[in-house]
């Protein structure tokens, strides 16, 4: 066994190709064997050539995972005869401002005198079960939605004029501009109308209410955290089943609602909106308050992350909901 500069060079090219989403380079660096495996940090597990495309990053997806900058922190590479292996860490800064460290372990083998990856395992480095995200600006849809909440109707519908506690949920369609341009105005308008009808039916089924929709975003309120999280799960599952191109970021937070001068926008509402802004397309993030109020045997969450929420003090613990 010895350290291998050749294996290290292949791993370096592999990581660079993955950041660039260079599929031609990715295919040339993968083994052609049916025993090729790619294992992610969640329940992802791809076999054979099906593993090549996922390893290339979010191919064809909107810019959720597009990388603005990256740097390789370290690589350790070894070889023994026709077998090589390596471990690597790469820091990535996404275009949305989030920074994380990606860890990769790889097994390689010589095929026609060329080192190729035959097994790959990716994970996100999470010290103390936490990842700190940089604060993300609110999408325009959520900004407009917040600024339009000025009638207090939701608070009255939930509990009357006095202080109340509710779970607030924001939804926002990711990459809506690109989708609307590709669909055309008429088809897009119909898709959004049908989308809100479906979401509202799910919300009402959980005893919640639609506070307001604007553009392609919506705000909803529930009497309980469980009802709100159930609705979020059902909404994301519905979108996966329909597979019509719409992908939602969803954020939930539970707290007091205090109307003042007819203004429904308070800390609870603002935090829920900013949690939604931090979520990726297809992802639901909930606050630690909301997560603590639901039954652990009913919902599954990824490892907690730590995020700064723009406009709110401190660092906040968020939980990504498995749906």
Residue 60 has a pLDDT of 38
Residue 85 has a pLDDT of 97
Residue 139 has a pLDDT of 85
Residue 155 has a pLDDT of 53
| Sign of the torsion angle spanned by Cα atoms 293, 149, 147, 210 | positive
Residue 23 has a pLDDT of 85
Residue 133 has a pLDDT of 66
Residues sharing a CB contact under 8 Å with residue 298, sequence separation 6 or more, in sequence order: 226
Q: Are 278 and 272 in contact (CB under 8 A)?
A: no
Helix (H, G, I), strand (E, B) or coil at 274: helix
Residue 242 has a pLDDT of 84
Q: For the segment 87-115, what is each residue's pLDDT rounded down to a tens digit?
A: 999 988 876 556 778 899 999 999 999 99
pTM across the whole model: 0.64
What are the CA-CA distances from residue 274 to residues 82, 149, 223, 287, 316 (Å)? 51, 15, 20, 10, 11
Residue 218 has a pLDDT of 95
| Sign of the torsion angle spanned by Cα atoms 88, 89, 93, 97 | positive
Residue 76 has a pLDDT of 97
Which stretches in the chain have pLDDT values below 70? 41-43, 53-65, 95-98, 125-134, 150-163, 258-265
Order of all β-strands in the sheet with 132-133: 132-133, 305-308, 315-321, 284-287, 248-257, 164-173, 217-222, 209-214
Q: What is d(CA 56, CA 78) in angstroms, rounded to the nearest whole number?
A: 24
Pick the closest to residue 275 from 139, 73, 121, 75 (CA basis).
Answer: 139
Domains of the chain from N-terminus onward? 2-125 (3.10.450.50), 140-321 (3.30.70.1230)
Residue 294 has a pLDDT of 94
Q: How many CB atoms lie within 10 A of CB 239?
A: 21
Instruction: Classify residue 103 as exposed, middle or buried by CB count within 10 Å of its CB (0-12, 13-18, 19+).
Output: middle
Residue 307 has a pLDDT of 85
Q: For the segment 283-313, what is each residue's pLDDT rounded down to a tens digit?
A: 999 999 999 999 888 998 887 888 888 888 8
Helix (H, G, I), strand (E, B) or coil at 68: strand
> Count of residues for the chain?
323
Q: Dmax over Cα atoms in the chain, in whole Å?
A: 75
């Amino acid at each position: 066994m010895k350290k291998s500069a050749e294996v290290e060079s292949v791993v370096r090219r592999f990581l660079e190709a993955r950041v660039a989403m260079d599929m031609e380079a990715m295919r040339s660096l993968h083994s052609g064997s049916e025993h090729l495996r790619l294992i992610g940090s969640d329940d992802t597990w791809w076999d054979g050539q099906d593993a090549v495309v996922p390893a290339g990053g979010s191919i064809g997806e909107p810019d959720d995972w597009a990388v603005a900058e990256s740097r390789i922190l370290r690589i350790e590479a070894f070889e023994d005869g026709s077998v090589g292996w390596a471990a690597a860490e790469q820091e990535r800064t996404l275009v949305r401002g989030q920074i994380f460290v990606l860890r990769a372990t790889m097994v390689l083998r010589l095929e026609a005198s060329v080192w190729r990856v035959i097994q790959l395992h990716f994970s996100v480095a999470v010290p103390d079960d936490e990842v700190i995200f940089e604060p993300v600006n609110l999408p325009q849809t959520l900004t407009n939605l917040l600024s339009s909440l000025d009638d207090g109707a939701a608070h009255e519908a939930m509990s009357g004029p006095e202080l109340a506690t509710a779970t607030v949920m924001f939804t926002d369609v990711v990459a809506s501009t690109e989708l609307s341009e590709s669909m055309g105005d008429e088809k897009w308008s119909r898709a959004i109308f049908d989308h809100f009808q479906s979401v509202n039916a799910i919300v009402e089924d959980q005893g919640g209410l639609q506070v307001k929709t604007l553009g392609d975003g919506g705000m909803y309120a529930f009497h309980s955290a469980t009802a709100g999280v159930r609705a979020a799960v059902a909404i994301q599952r519905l979108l996966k089943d329909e597979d019509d191109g719409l992908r939602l970021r969803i954020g939930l937070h539970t707290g007091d609602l205090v109307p003042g001068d007819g203004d429904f926008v308070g800390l609870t509402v603002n935090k829920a909106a900013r949690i939604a802004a931090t979520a990726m397309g297809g992802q639901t993030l909930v606050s630690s308050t909301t997560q603590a109020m639901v039954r652990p045997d009913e919902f599954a969450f990824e490892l907690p992350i730590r995020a700064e929420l723009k406009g709110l003090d401190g660092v906040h613990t968020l939980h990504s909901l498995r749906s």
